[in-house]
C-alpha cells in the first residue's frame, strides 16, 4: 500500500472488515498506518461502511475499533432495515467542493425513505444495539469454535460483532444448501467462507439452533 499511494492518488477506499471479500478483518497497525499514509500524501481516506456500519460489528461504525476516522464514509444496507437507501458522509471542508448543481439524486432522501431510516437508526441508538451485536457475536463465534474443535471442516473462525466468517476446508456451496434444507439461511463470501450476518436482535436460542444445523451440515458436506 505504501508503494501504491503516490502524488496521483486522489483517495484510498477500503472496508475495515471486508464483507464480500471473505470476512477479512483489517489489522489495527495496518489501518492506522493507512490513515497516516493518507495524511502524509494528501490522499483522502474513504471507508466503505456499507456492510460494517450501523452497529453490525459491535460499534456503531467499524472505524471506531481502530481509533481512526475517515475523510468520507459510505452507508447503505442496514440504515433503513430493508428499504433502499445510501448515504455519503464527509467533513465540512471536503463537502464544500460539491457546489450547487455538481451532484444530485431524484429519489435520494425522500420523506418515505428517511422516515424509515430515522425509525431504524433511532431504535438502534436507543437500544445500543452495537453492544448486543458484540455480545451475540462472541456467543456465535464461541459456538463456531467449539464446532471447529470437533471437525477439520472449519479451518478458522473470524469476525467482529455479528459479521462473522467461518473459513471451511472445502467449498461453501454445499454447506449453504444443506443449512437451507435444514431451515437456516446463511451467506457465503468467496468459495470457502461461510458468512453469518444475523439480525442484531438475534437470541441465544436462535444461535444454538443455527449452530446445531451448521454442525450437521458440515458433517454431510
Partner 1 sequence: MDTKTLLEWSAKYHTPNYGARAPIVLVRGEGVRVWDSDGREYLDFGAGIAVTSLGHCHPRVTGAIQEAAATLLHVSNLYHSAPQIHLAKLLIEHSFADRVFFSNSGAEANEAALKLARKYARERISSDRFEFVSTRQLVPRAHLRDGRGHRPGEVPPRLRAAGAGLQARRPTTTCARWSARSTIAPPP
Residue list 148-167, contact with partner 1 (CB under 8 A): 163
Q: Which is nearer to partner 1, 116 or 156 (CB)?
A: 116
Q: Which of 158, 157, 179, 155 is nearest to 169 (CA)?
A: 155
Residue list 7-26, contact with partner 1 (CB under 8 A): 7-15, 18-21, 24, 26
Count of chain residues binding partner 1 (CB under 8 A): 108
Task: Determine, following the binding rule CB under 8 A, whether residue 190 of this chain makes contact with partner 1.
Answer: yes
Shortest distance, CB of residue 153 to partner 1, whole angstroms?
18
Q: Which is nearer to partner 1, 103 or 149 (CB)?
A: 103
Shortest distance, CB of residue 96 to partner 1, whole angstroms?
9
- Cell numbers 451485536 correspond to 133
Q: Which of 172, 178, 177, 196 is nearest to 186 (CA)?
A: 196
Q: Which is nearer to partner 1, 153 or 179 (CB)?
A: 179
- Coil/strand/helix, residue 57: coil
Task: Determine, following the binding rule CB under 8 A, whether residue 56 of this chain makes contact with partner 1.
Answer: yes
| Among the residue ranges 142-150, 151-159, 196-204, the one whose residues contact partner 1 (CB under 8 A) | 196-204
Concatenating the DSSP letter of every residue in 113-181 gives HHHHHHHHHHHHHHTTHHHHHHHHHHHHHHHHHHHHHH-TTEEEEEEETTEEEEEESS-SHHHHHHHHH
Shortest distance, CB of residue 221 to partner 1, whole angstroms?
16
Q: Which of 55, 38, 48 is nearest to 18 (CA)?
A: 48
Shortest distance, CB of residue 155 to partner 1, whole angstroms?
16
Residue list 62-121, contact with partner 1 (CB under 8 A): 63, 69-78, 80-92, 94-95, 97-98, 102-121
Q: Which of 212, 68, 59 is nearest to 147 (CA)?
A: 212
Amino acid at each position: 500500500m505504501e508503494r501504491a499511494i503516490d502524488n496521483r492518488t486522489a483517495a484510498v477506499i477500503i472496508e475495515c472488515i471486508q464483507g464480500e471479500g471473505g470476512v477479512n478483518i483489517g489489522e489495527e497497525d495496518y489501518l492506522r498506518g493507512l490513515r497516516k499514509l493518507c495524511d502524509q500524501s494528501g490522499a483522502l481516506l474513504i471507508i466503505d461502511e456499507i456492510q460494517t456500519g450501523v452497529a453490525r460489528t459491535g460499534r456503531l461504525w467499524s472505524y471506531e475499533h481502530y481509533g481512526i476516522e475517515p475523510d468520507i464514509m459510505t452507508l447503505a444496507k442496514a440504515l433503513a432495515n430493508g428499504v433502499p437507501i445510501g448515504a455519503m458522509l464527509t467533513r465540512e471542508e471536503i463537502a464544500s467542493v460539491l457546489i450547487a448543481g455538481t451532484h444530485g439524486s431524484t429519489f435520494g432522501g425522500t420523506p418515505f425513505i428517511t422516515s424509515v431510516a430515522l425509525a431504524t437508526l433511532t431504535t438502534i441508538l436507543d437500544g445500543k444495539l452495537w453492544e448486543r451485536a458484540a455480545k451475540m457475536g462472541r456467543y456465535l463465534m464461541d459456538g463456531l469454535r467449539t464446532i471447529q474443535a470437533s471437525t477439520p471442516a472449519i479451518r478458522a473462525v473470524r469476525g467482529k460483532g455479528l459479521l462473522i466468517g467461518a473459513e471451511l476446508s472445502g467449498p461453501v456451496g454445499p454447506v449453504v444448501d444443506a443449512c437451507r434444507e435444514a431451515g437456516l439461511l446463511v451467506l457465503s463470501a468467496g468459495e470457502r467462507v461461510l458468512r453469518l450476518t444475523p439480525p442484531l436482535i438475534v437470541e441465544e436460542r436462535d444461535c444454538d439452533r443455527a449452530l446445531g444445523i451448521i454442525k450437521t451440515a458440515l458433517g454431510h458436506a
